[in-house]
Structure 1
Amino acid sequence: MMLSRTALPLVFFAAIWSTARAADWYTGAPAPEASAPPPPATPQPTVSIDLSVDGTSRSSIAGAAIGKIAPFGSLAESGPRIRVSTVVGKYAYDASDLPVYVPVGAAFIPSNTGYGRVHGTLEDGSFMVGYEVVSNQGGVALYVGPDVMNHSLSPFDPGNQVRGVSAGAKVGVEAFARPTDSTMIALIAYYSTVHNSYYTRLKFGVELADYVYVGPEALALGDDYFAQWRAGAHLTGLKFGALQIGLSSGYLRDRVRGSGAYGILDTHIAF
């Protein structure tokens, strides 16, 4: 049977196409429609949780939990932030102006001043919103929001006005920077209108290993009743899987509690 002149070119083209396909198979060259899709991008964290324990030789200990959320993106890029924090602690100090209560009938009335040990508890919570600017060299975030705080004292100390439940506003800044490839600077500073409470921590570090830093730190914290400053050293960035750990310790001077030592354990995880 003879092929028509019209069918002959079609057969010739099909033979060439089949040969090319066979050559692709033989040489291992993938067909365009069979090419593998690009690997999916690594997901960036949108939530971080920080847990810390702060203790001193002056009879105080506190635990803090801080959660941060990037609601419209990731923590690795600039954008809005939500910050929720809570602090629970205990402390004690000596007071020289405690009244001595004596029974009079069915009641107790103050008789004279005495000297005693006051034990206090602290509960604090805040809900803040802010914005963080992130770059290859670090980032800086600003926050503002309501703050609720409660101080309970036992026995009652009339000389300490920082007591009871109070609410107010809280503002703060958090910043981290790498001035060079082997150094870091970190700053945390917060102020609350509740009893004029404040907390500031500044760290400088030199890289000891990959993103593990060691160096000095300084802290200042207080309120309408006490004022304290600290100077010590820190080790920041130890990694155990996704968990990061920091340790610090040093000397403190407190206007109410006197001199002593402090230690802080920080943990951080993001997902």
Structure 2
Amino acid sequence: MKAVARPFSAQTPAPLPARRSKFLLAAALWIVQAQAAGAADWYTGDKTTEPDYAPTVLLDASGSATTTQSVFGAAAVTGAIDGDFRQNGFRFRVEGVAGTYNYFTTLPAVAPATVGVRKKIYADQEDGGVLGGYGWVMRNWSFALFGGMELSNTTLSYPDPNNPTAGFSIGAKIAGEFYGNPTPNTMLSGYGSFSTNNSEYYSRIKAGYRIWGNVFIGPEFLALGNRFYSEYRAGVHLTGLTIGRLAFGLSGGATSSRVTGSGGYALLDAQLAF
């Protein structure tokens, strides 16, 4: 009787060469997948501590305070319009800033007085903007530029002719930012903005050295002001602390302002990715 060959089934073991081929094929696929995942790890930094995901929305919040009684808080929502933050593309941003500061000023003399009156002024400031822009992403660096409209309002506790920023205004705003790792153990980041509302500007630059995981420590420098005041800050930052998808940093140092005087500052910022 002629033997009939049966096809291999789940119950019939494959010959050794076939099983070896399947094993080699599976190993090759695993290696390809591992290499593909590793190619994207540059975005999330240290791949042993950071999740591998591609955010499309970033929520940023920060708060700062000085010993000269200046307190400000800011929040911004940035979204990737086409794709995610791992790739080049258009972005949008909605942001807001609110805070208070105080200073002493000499009011003009009122007849029959011949000497002006020195008075303490309390100021409340609110800014809000809607911006659009574009981001460029490279292996170790990312850059973004934004432009749009900003609303600004400053209220004084007492009329001060020396402070031209009082009142409400609508203007244009531009901003730019970058983040990079010049070497595997260093980081460099910066942000700068300018608004036609009272010629308001803000800039911050940080350099850091990796101390563990994706956490960096190093110096920072800030310059901010408008038509009424200018302020400079220099200190030390700790950046890259994480809790899940929440990343945050701490910094503090010395501040000097020609309006509010010299003192110290502390700053907390956080970012949540979706």
In structure 2, the residue matched to 1:107 is none
Which of 35, 57, 60 lines up with 1:50 in the alignment?
60
**TM-score with structure 2 length normalisation?**
0.82
Contiguous gaps of at least 5 residues in structure 1: 103-109
Q: Distance in 2 between matches of 1:153 and 1:100?
A: 20
Structure with larger Rg: 1
Return the offset for 1:77. 1.4
Matched, 1:196 2:206: no
Distance of aligned partners of 1:95 and 1:20 in 2 relative to their CA distance in 1, 3 Å threshold:
closer
Residues 70-117 of structure 1 show CA distances to partners (whole Å, capped at 9, x for unaligned) of: 011011211111111100101111111266799xxxxxxx99731111
Which of 154, 159, 164 lines up with 1:156 in the alignment?
159
State the Cα RMSD in Å.
3.0
In structure 1, the residue matched to 2:119 is 116
Distance of aligned partners of 1:19 and 1:89 in 2 relative to their CA distance in 1, 3 Å threshold:
closer
Moved over 2 A (4+): 18-21, 23-29, 98-102, 110-113
Which of 78, 89, 99 lines up with 2:88 in the alignment?
78
The amino acid that maps onto 2:188 is: I
Q: Distance in 2 between matches of 1:134 and 1:247?
A: 26
The amino acid that maps onto 1:22 is: T
| Partner secondary structure for residue 23 of structure 1 | coil
In structure 1, the residue matched to 2:6 is 16
In structure 2, the residue matched to 1:105 is none
Matches within 5 A, 1:143-222: 143-222=146-225
In structure 2, the residue matched to 1:62 is 72
CA contact (8 A) 2:8 2:14 kept: no
Q: Distance in 2 between matches of 1:96 and 1:204?
A: 40
Return the offset for 1:139. 0.3
Q: Which has the higher strand share?
A: 1
| Partner secondary structure for residue 173 of structure 2 | strand
Return the offset for 1:210. 1.3
Return the offset for 1:16. 2.6
Q: Distance in 2 between matches of 1:224 and 1:118?
A: 17
Return the offset for 1:265. 0.3
| Partner secondary structure for residue 116 of structure 2 | strand
Return the offset for 1:21. 6.5
The amino acid that maps onto 2:99 is: G
The amino acid that maps onto 1:235 is: L
Sequence identity (%): 36
Q: Distance in 1 between matches of 2:111 and 2:62?
A: 39
Q: Distance in 2 between matches of 1:116 and 1:77?
A: 53
The amino acid that maps onto 1:83 is: R
Distance of aligned partners of 1:215 and 1:112 in 2 relative to their CA distance in 1, 3 Å threshold:
same
How many residue pairs get aligned? The number is 248
Return the offset for 1:17. 1.4
Residues 38-63 of structure 1 show CA distances to partners (whole Å, capped at 9, x for unaligned) of: 99x96511001011001111111010
CA contact (8 A) 1:98 1:157 kept: no
Q: Distance in 2 between matches of 1:98 and 1:52?
A: 37
The amino acid that maps onto 2:79 is: I
**TM-score with structure 1 length normalisation?**
0.83
Contiguous gaps of at least 5 residues in structure 2: 38-51
